[in-house]
Chains A and B, each alone.
Chain A
Amino acid sequence: MVLVKTSERVGRVPPSGIRKFFELAEEREDVISLGVGEPDFSAPWAARDAAIASLERGQTSYTANRGMRELREAIADHCADRYDLDYDPGEEVLVTTGVSEGVDVALRALVDPGDRVAMVDPSYVSYRPGVLLADGEPLPVRTREEEHFRLTYDALQRAGASEADLLILCYPNNPTGAVMREEHLEPVAEFCREHDLRVLSDEIYADLTYEGEHTSIATLDGMRERTIVFNGFSKAYAMTGLRLGYALGPAEGISAMNRIHQYSMLSAPTTAQHAALEALESCEEDVEEMVRAFNRRRRFVLSRFSEMGLDCFEAKGAFYVFPEVPGNDGTFAEGLLEEQGVAVVPGSVFGGAGEGHLRISYASGLPQLKEAMNRMEAFLA
């Protein structure tokens, strides 16, 4: 007898393509994993200490739905300083339980049944399910290695995105590590203005931009009013487990998101909010140091790939590189795990345009990376 009848909606969401590799990797002892989507660092001690202190003070209640006022102010200041993003902490900032929750409530607040939601292909695995759960129709927009996996005006056109209602952007990109500078974003912004697309811009890797500065699409002409920007503490501050992020957007958008957030979440984790406040106030140097360490690893891995003859465009963001491999990416990844004990994620997990590639995370120590690269080289030989 079926005790629990599940919804048709949840049936639309396929199980995670990453699960299989997780299980294979967990079976073995000697695995070096380059399949991890989070930093190997711990959160800066000052931030952890602030979280502990808040617990000692007994600050264990809910906060305002939108997040502690002080934190929203600090977020607004930080984003204005760093990214030229000016948002009012009262009306235009929502503190969320990770960017994950932010994107989810945004989709639910902005998508009507049947709305088409264009998204960069390949990109982070949660967008498609998020759109499906919001009764929207995902529309992948393929990006190409020859164009450094940037989204272009033509790609949007070709995919039929002029008919879409929303576009989900993710730069610096997971899984490719691609970045889009202002000159690359402008044609995309033009497309959005012409076809009246609203934009959800997941900028969680913004601080992990190498050789140059991150630009948010919301800073381009006519984009602020149609964009929700997402960022958070998981990647740059190595705070994944604390589950804290934020959304910035026009008051109506943020208020609609908060309508859902106030019922489904009430407020983001209080302890994490205290950590985040401290992170913004005093951890800039920790972040810079981690970013420099990531950059050294990035160069190391890229140069090892070029030595072993693997084609890989020069990713300048996040902590991923996305080399092309011979044959089927899934088969390659399984073989690499089986023969050499190196876990990676096949590119096709992130969308059709990722086929034939591997997502390699360099969020691991150099000794591990060095050993993993040697094993990959042996596997290719």
Chain B
Amino acid sequence: MEPKRELLEALCANARTDTADLARQTGLSESEVEAAIADLEGEGTIRGYQAIVDWEEVDEDHARAAVELNVTLDRETGYAEVSERLAKFPEVSSLHLVSGNYDFLMIVEASSVRRISRFVSEKVAPVPEVTQTVTHFVMETYKEGGIEMNGDDDDDRLSVSP
């Protein structure tokens, strides 16, 4: 595997791995790791690093919804223009153009269900191109970013085996 690709995989497994450990894992020198990460960031391959949070464990309200959007386009306005407008809202945590019965799948996060409802009705629905919204509130999250929320990581192997 190409070193940059290898670095990406190591970072996807744990973005907090420090440079020295990344170097050990990939066989690159620390300065090569620094340079490769700078490249990956510079060229926009790596767009950021985030924690995967189980909000159930945080003593604070948190709500999330998947919103289906249908839009109508015209000669001046394409998906790119609409998406740009929607993506600007901080409440929108991800936005995808999808195949199937609707155009966009939008994930919205806020401190309460009410805030999300207000956001969708007051900010999203009025966007001229948006013709329809269907909001699905998330009731439970089982897996996020490849990590199972209730996964137990107990090691039940024998401690020493041949």
Q: Do A and B bind each other?
A: yes
Residues of A within 8 A of B (CB): 16, 18, 21-22, 25-26, 31, 33, 35-38, 40, 124-126, 174, 292-293, 296-297, 299-300, 303-304, 343, 345, 364, 366, 370
**Known contacts A292-B6, A292-B9, A18 near B26 by CB under 8 Å:** no
CA distance A37 to B160 in the complex (A): 7
Residues of B within 8 A of A38 (CB): 157, 161
Given known contacts A38-B157, A40-B157, A296 and B162 CB-to-CB distance under 8 angstroms: no
* B5-63, CB < 8 A from A: 6, 9-10, 13-14, 17, 21, 23-27
Contact with A along B109-148 (1 / 0, CB 8 A): 0000000000000000000000000000000000000000
Taking the closest CB of chain A, its distance from the CB of B18, in whole angstroms, is: 10
B159 contacts A by Cβ under 8 Å: yes
Nearest-CB distance from A102 to chain B (Å)? Answer: 16
Instruction: Contact check, B157 vs A370: say whether CB atoms are below 8 A apart.
Output: no
Q: Which residues of A contact B155 (CB under 8 A)?
A: 40, 364
Residue in B closest to A350 when the chains form the complex, CB atoms: B162
CA distance A299 to B33 in the complex (A): 14
Pick the contact of A35: B1, B23, B24, B159 (CB < 8 A). B159
| Given A125-B162, A300-B25, A303-B24; A36-B157 close (CB under 8 Å) | yes
| Cα A292 to Cα B23 with chains together (Å) | 15
CB <8 Å contact, A300 and B160: no
Of B23, B25, B157, B158, which is within 8 A of A297 by CB?
Answer: B25
**How large, as a class, is the contact surface on chain B?**
20 to 34
Q: List 9 A-B contacts (CB under 8 A).
A: A22-B159, A22-B160, A35-B161, A36-B159, A297-B25, A300-B25, A303-B23, A343-B159, A366-B13
Q: Is the CB of A296 within 8 A of B10?
A: yes
Contact bitstring B81-125, A, C-beta under 8 A = 1, else 0: 000000000000000000000000000000000000000000000
Which residues of chain B come closer than 8 Å to A26, judged between CB atoms?
A: 159
Minimum CB–CB distance from B138 to chain A (whole Å) comes to: 23
Whether B160 pairs with A296 at a CB distance below 8 angstroms is: no
Q: Roughly how many angstroms separate A18 CA and B1 CA in the complex, as a whole number?
A: 36
A22, B10: Cα distance in complex, Å: 32
Q: When chains A and B are docked, how far (Å) is the Cα of A26 from the Cα of B156?
A: 12
Q: B1 — which chain A residues lie within 8 A by C-beta?
A: 292
Q: Is the CB of A299 within 8 A of B26?
A: yes
Q: B27's closest neighbor in chain A, by CB?
A: A299
Residues of B within 8 A of A297 (CB): 25
Tell me if A343 and B162 are in contact (CB < 8 A): no
Q: Could you tell me the distance between the alpha carbons of A370 and B10 in the complex, rounded to whole angstroms?
A: 14
Shortest CB-to-CB span from B54 to chain A, Å, is 18
* B162 adjacent to A37 (CB under 8 Å): yes
Chain A residues lying within 8 Å of B24, measured Cβ to Cβ, are 299-300, 303-304
Bound together, the chains give a CA A184 to CA B160 distance in angstroms of: 31
